[in-house]
Structure 1
């Protein structure tokens, strides 16, 4: 049975995966925003294609991925606060992380062990070629960067990508092969990391911008705690990604605690939205206020006289088709078993689970990356 598990290839994990939707590396931040808002997916792949290259394997390469959180953090930069519209005209390359290797191309014949190794080396997404639907056609070279709402074809092939979650799901389906490891506690297995991101409940949300960016890279979240270290909730990139660029205004004006209320499932309270509007004016961030209300990249163009609260609430409801999780953190305890934590994370579509004491103080965090290290060591022993 163990030998059979080791025989699985990347192609086996790709069964049923949808083709990637892509964006050209020559696109702008605004193009990326429009593509994300017209998609049910939280991430869009970015491709660099050189159709004049003599080397076929260098013609089309996925160079990264972007999500709305990237746009939000970019708009929160000091140099972009005065004119978000101008910032949206910047090349999409400004959103791509300086950390290389977040995406990696792999062959369908690559082994499960090779896939896990790439992820443990830092790759968040493995780009895999899949069989092309013959009914689809290659987009003409003159197509707009935002016209790729349907899957695009590169070098005659379509691609999907695998994530940490995909591999964890696959391992969970064969969890019995790893007995007794799945029943051991996360503390016994040494899976609790004390390297986590945290912000005080009363601190300005703007003080957490760097932490939000890092949590997106680490595929974790930012814990929101009180003065005694009690876990109150979290600011999750996954939740932020279900909103739109107007959250940048909330980040620049609210406390961390109020931001949690703002992004929580169901939409922001009217009184919080009014506070954001007034504080934008007090901070002389009229450019952000006006430009976001009239953003040319928005799905619905808004009138300058549209009340801020009504416009933002309508945007929130437009994302109801996506799975939106609120600001409540997913937690476990030191004695929680590995398999229980895996099921928790997969059920809530997160790559991490917070570890707390009985009094709700934060102990640390367990991530999919930590869990994959345990399975990788065990798989190697099966060889």
Structure 2
């Protein structure tokens, strides 16, 4: 008897995208059960792979090319994604991924004080000019710690010093800012910002302290950037710097809050927008996964959310690595690519082959 299978993994970061991972698992399942109906709904948490997850999961999604100024002032050719109209977004929804416009992978060398989010704002502006009803911004892989001010400036805001001159782009320049004005109006359907972190803007858990060193910031840089962000917060009093997620993407979460956006857990919002909860509940089996499943994976990561959303539907987990202390009790079956391949190196060298094997084994066990 034919069954309906939903394949909804996150990306296996650094080795294979969520879309390619889903396709590999599906191919392995089909090898064992060719008559089953398989639906690919690759997931993301707002960071890397968000655009591709929507492009694969939403019929009629359209890639719209855009050229922006990257985090180091070089031009970047990228795209935003336009989703078809829905009742709550009659003119469509734009998906914009920070990593694709202002991400750390776009840098030739780290710029902890000067990198910026201007390109993200340009992509959002292009989507608004195209007339979309709603904008969804995926936060992750940020190169900068500018509080989202580069983004706001590309949207028309003015960040000026006490002499009325524009301050330099980047986090360091914020210490000289005397005003932030002319924030643009939101689109009719609003702006949703997706993140998988809950860090506030400031302090020891804030954007500069936690994420700055990853972007090349020295201890002195971290202190300077945290001070600059604290100063920015005084200029944008309508946004609360203690809001969970305000520190996401170098404080871009805070900048989006100041604009009027809603911050949301990325995996929950992505799942809702691609229709995962309804598809999972109606399926016979759901397969999810991520690169490393460990003791923290139950706290807001994609596999834990998928297992919860599926309700009574059996959910299988495949991960590049499953830690010894990980709780896999929510899953009907689980497989590690490291175990299948024999070593982490072998699994990472050819993840598609081992994902295929995992799909085939799940079909034999759960089909």
- TM-score bucket of the superposed structures, by smaller chain: under 0.3
TM-score, scaled relative to structure 2: 0.25
TM-score, scaled relative to structure 1: 0.24
